[in-house]
Structures are given as C-alpha cells and as structure tokens.
C-alpha cells in the first residue's frame, strides 16, 4: 500500500479494528460468543510478509438469535440485514466500505456451494489472539479477539474455488504449520463431509506447485516471487498433511 492510500487505509483499519473489538464486547454482554474467521483470522496465523490488508470483519457463532446485535450494528452504522446464513452489515467510509458478516452454525462458500459445519469444539479451541494492525500508523492498537483454530480456518480456505483463498491457505501452511493439529484437521473436514474435497484441493495444490501455478498465485497477491525454499517447505508440509489423512492411513 502506498503512502497516500495508507493514510486513508490506516483510518479504515483503525475503524475496522475498533468496531471489531466493540462488537465482540457487546455480543458477550448478550451472551453471544463470536469467533473471528476470514481475513483477520488469516492475519493471526500468517507472518507479515504474507499479510494482506484486510478491513472486513467475519465472525461465526452458534447463537441463532442475533437480533440483540441489531442495536450495536446500527449504532456503529453498519445497518443490519438478516440473511439465510446469519446477519450482515456494511459501513461506508468515504468511497470505501467495511463489510461485516456473522455466520451462524456453518459457513457457506459461494464458489462451491459447500458448507463447513462448525465443529463442537470450535469455541473451546478458539484462542484469544492479539490482532495486529497491518499498517505502521496503527501499530499501537492493542485489539484482541477470539480467533477460530488454525485447522478450521485452513479448511474454510481450502473449501473454496477462489484463488485468493488458496493463497491464504498457502500462507497459513507456510507460516503456522506447527500449530496445525492434523488429526483435528481431518476429523473436522470429515465432519462436514469435506475430507475428499480438501484432499483433492491439497493434491491440486501439489500439482499446481509442479506446474508453477503456485508461483503465479503468490506473485499475483504479493507482487513478489515465490522462492525455491518456500516451494520445498510447502510441498513437504502438504505431503505431511496428506499422510495424516486417516483414509489413506487405513
């Protein structure tokens, strides 16, 4: 992000982070536990070099009645719209906007129509993480939130057909692989009947690595080259994940 865009973006990031914290706090007051997924969750599990700027806020919850949140949505100027998956809102700031989504029980993907059912242990396994601002001007912001476990974030990213999500998945595998509980990863994939899909996606990432498509993806989203060392690490780790797939083990 350039210096000029940065001043605009830093304002938006500041608002987004403040709103995130406020909504999370207010929701707790109403007995609604919100867990972060999406861009902010990816940021929690990736290093700075693979960060992408995010301003949209994506939460998940198991509480079905979210009407109690209408007040806080409206007070923060997001509007409040109930959808078949939960609630959403949007806040305009000059020419930009922050999108806010709360999905209930499951996360639906637009590109595949697949759904990820939230596992029972998701809330127990979620951890409070400091969410760092990506822009230097906001580095003093101390915002924290409950973030979905890395296994669930990874499955949600591998579930889609969108290249942007695959980039996020690659970044998570490169930066947070040691945090991934492979047993839980496969168990949760299976619970949503996504294990075959996830396995295919991982295999197709391996094929993409061979074809040089991962390099292209990396270049598209970071503008930089995917170096050989990253290539080797990614291949090793995907293979490790695949080896732990219980259907293969059997």
Partner 1 sequence: MRKEMPEWLKKQYNRLWVRYKNQAFTFKDVTKELGISRAMTIKTLWELEQRGFLNKERSEIDYRARTYKLISPEDINFAIGLYSLVEKEKLGKQGLIEKFVFVDDSLSYAMTGSHAAYYYHRYMVPPRVLEIKIEPRDEGKWIAFLTDERTRVFTGDIIEARKISNYVKLLHSARPINSIRKKTEEGYYIEKPEFLLMELLERQTQTSIVEAIAIILQEKDKLKWRGSNGLIDLAKESGFSRRLGFLLDAINFESSKSVIEAKIIQDIKSDFRGKSDEIFPRDEIFLSRFLELRNKSMHRALLTTEEIEELTRMKERFEGYRKLSEKWGFQAILPRDFVRKVLEDLGVRLGKK
Angle at 6 between CA 50 and CA 38, to 5 degrees: 45
Half-sphere CA count of 65, side-chain side, radius 13 A:
3
Q: How far is the CB of 223 from partner 1 (least distance, A)?
A: 3
Rounded to the nearest angstrom, the gap between the alpha carbon of residue 69 and the centroid of all alpha carbons in its chain is 22
Identify the residue among 29, 84, 110, 124 touching partner 1 (CB under 8 A).
110
For residue 43, report the phi and psi dihedrals to the nearest 5 degrees: -60, -35
C-alpha distances (whole Å) from 172 to each of 64, 127, 138 are 30, 16, 23
The reply on whether position 217 binds partner 1 by CB under 8 A is yes
Taking a C-beta distance cutoff of 8 angstroms, is the pair 87, 66 a contact?
Answer: yes
Q: How far is the CB of 68 from partner 1 (least distance, A)?
A: 26
DSSP string computed for 168-188: HHHHHHHHHGGG--HHHHHHH
The reply on whether position 232 binds partner 1 by CB under 8 A is no
Residues 163-182 that bind partner 1 (CB under 8 A): 163-164
Residues 44-103 that bind partner 1 (CB under 8 A): 48-49, 52-55, 90, 95-96, 99
Identify the residue among 65, 228, 249, 250 touching partner 1 (CB under 8 A).
228
Q: Which stretch binds partner 1 (CB under 8 A): 65-73, 141-149, 179-187, 210-218?
A: 210-218
The reply on whether position 31 binds partner 1 by CB under 8 A is no
Q: How far is the CB of 127 from partner 1 (least distance, A)?
A: 26
The residue (of 30 and 53) whose beta carbon lies closer to partner 1 is 53
């Amino acid at each position: 992000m350039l210096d000029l865009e940065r001043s605009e973006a830093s304002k938006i990031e500041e608002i987004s982070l403040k709103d995130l914290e406020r909504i999370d706090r207010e929701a707790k007051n109403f007995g609604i536990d919100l867990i972060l997924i999406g861009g902010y969750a990816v940021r929690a599990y990736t290093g700075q070099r693979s960060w992408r700027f995010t301003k949209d806020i994506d939460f998940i919850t198991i509480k079905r009645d979210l009407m109690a949140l209408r007040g806080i949505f409206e007070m923060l100027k997001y509007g409040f719209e109930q959808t078949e998956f939960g609630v959403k809102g949007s806040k305009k700031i000059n020419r930009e906007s922050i999108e806010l989504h709360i999905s209930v029980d499951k996360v639906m993907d637009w590109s595949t129509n697949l759904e990820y059912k939230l596992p029972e242990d998701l809330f127990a396994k979620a951890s409070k993480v400091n969410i760092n601002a990506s822009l230097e001007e906001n580095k003093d912001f101390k915002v924290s939130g409950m973030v979905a476990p890395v296994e669930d974030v990874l499955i949600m990213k591998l579930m889609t057909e969108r290249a942007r999500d695959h980039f996020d998945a690659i970044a998570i595998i490169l930066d947070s692989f040691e945090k991934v509980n492979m047993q839980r990863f496969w168990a949760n994939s299976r619970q949503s009947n996504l294990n075959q899909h996830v396995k295919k996606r991982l295999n197709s990432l391996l094929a993409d690595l061979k074809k040089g498509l991962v390099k292209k993806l990396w270049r598209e989203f970071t503008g930089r080259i995917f170096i050989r060392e990253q290539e080797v690490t990614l291949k090793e780790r995907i293979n490790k994940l695949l080896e732990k797939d219980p259907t293969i083990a059997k």
